[in-house]
Amino acid sequence: MAAWVCSKCGYVRDSRCKPKKCPNCNAQDSYGKAEDSKKA
């Protein structure tokens, strides 16, 4: 799974696919892949 971050409000969502809409601020196409710092 990948972590996706909303560029408008910073909401983070774990999902295999890129979310179309942010559930927090309702921004469309605002998600970018987050850097995964959990992997060692």
On the question of pLDDT at 40 being above 50, the answer is no
Give residue 21's pLDDT: 96
pLDDT band at 35; cut points 50, 70, 90: confident
Q: At 12, list the tokens.
A: 């983070």
d(CA 39, CA 22): 25
User: Is this structure's pTM higher than 0.85?
Assistant: no
Give residue 22's pLDDT: 96
On the question of pLDDT at 28 being above 60, the answer is yes
- Mean pLDDT confidence for 21-37: 89
- Mean pLDDT confidence for 1-5: 93
d(CA 28, CA 33): 15
